[in-house]
Structure 1
Amino acid sequence: MDKTALRDALLALETHELQAAREAYADYLAASKPDNTEAQDVQDHSLEVEDAELASGLEAPLQQAQDAMARLQAIDFGAKTEVSPGAVIRMGGKRFVVAVATQPFEVGGVTYMGMSTSAPLYRAAQGLSAGDTASFNGRTITIEQVD
């Protein structure tokens, strides 16, 4: 397993998410600019206030994407012996990269999924080593591998 390739794949995914969030925010702001060539009425003003509220709602995903990118860039992806940030773990036959939450992605023909350190599954497995078990959602999970 090439952890550098995993890190690069995660960075590419987060870069895409960040760019999409930036574009959505910029597109919305551009579309919601008032047309100052016409007289404004009360309804126009009300719509502008509503647009400003919606725009602020788009700031949250943008900030989340920026935060995820910063966390990802700060993680040490060196070899691990316990479940911690930067570890690649296998549980239930599935592989997870402890970093930021992602959709499943493939590297070297193997499917991985990013797991956030705020995920309940991570909290259940945190600090465990290969062969250890933990309880999660009423089930026993086994840490099959940690790299």
Structure 2
Amino acid sequence: MTDTTTDADTKLRIRDALIAQARTELEATNDNLDDELRAAELDQDEPVRPDDTSQSDEAGELKGLLGAAAEAQEGRIAEIEALDVSPADAVRPGAIVGFGGQRFLVGAATPDVEIDGVEYTGLTTDAPIYAAIEGLTVGDTFTFRDREQQIDFLA
């Protein structure tokens, strides 16, 4: 029989690990953004060559992309922080759901994180599979991409 329980402390540790991971990624993006800002600055005391202006323009464009990435990461952190990770009796945002040998924290897109030897991945409510599992409980089956699966874990 599959273990279908995870205590509240473990759910909080999973959420906190995902937040810490997202913050680390945000810090790296911000560091890259700072580097690009410095690279985009032209030295006003030196003659400006056309190549310098071109590189400054490219760095400025990259700055915009990195800034957008940082904003998206900040939004992802806010989504994870806002999740209600109280016990769940049905698949919903904040629930941890397991099927097909994998476990997911529903409500935010995140990379994998390992807690107590178990790997968890974030699953957004925009993901196509979420529509197939929303509201299901342990033991319920669903079909996704012509493959039948069963909810074998829910916390």
Q: TM-score, normalised by structure 2?
A: 0.85
| Alignment equivalent of 2:98, drawn from 90, 98, 105 | 90
Matched position secondary structure for 1:34 = coil
1:144 counterpart residue number: 152
| Residues 72/131 of structure 1: CA separation in 2 closer, same or farther (3 Å cut) | same
Percent identity of equivalent pairs: 36
**AA aligned opposite 2:140:** D
Per-residue CA deviations over 1:72-107 (Å, capped at 9, x if unaligned) read 111110011111111011101211111322222211
| Per-residue deviation, residues 38-64 of structure 1 (Å, max 9, x unmatched) | 222444333322221121111121011
User: Partners in 1 of 2:127 and 2:36 — Cα distance?
Assistant: 31
1:74 aligns with 2:69: no
Structure 2, unmatched stretches of 5+, are: 1-5
**Which structure is higher in RCO with an 8 Å CA cutoff and minimum separation 6?**
2
Q: CA RMSD in A?
A: 1.6
**Pair 1:62 & 2:50 matched:** no
User: What is the aligned length?
Assistant: 147
Partner Cα distance (1:33, 1:51) in 2: 9
TM-score, structure 1 length as denominator?
0.89
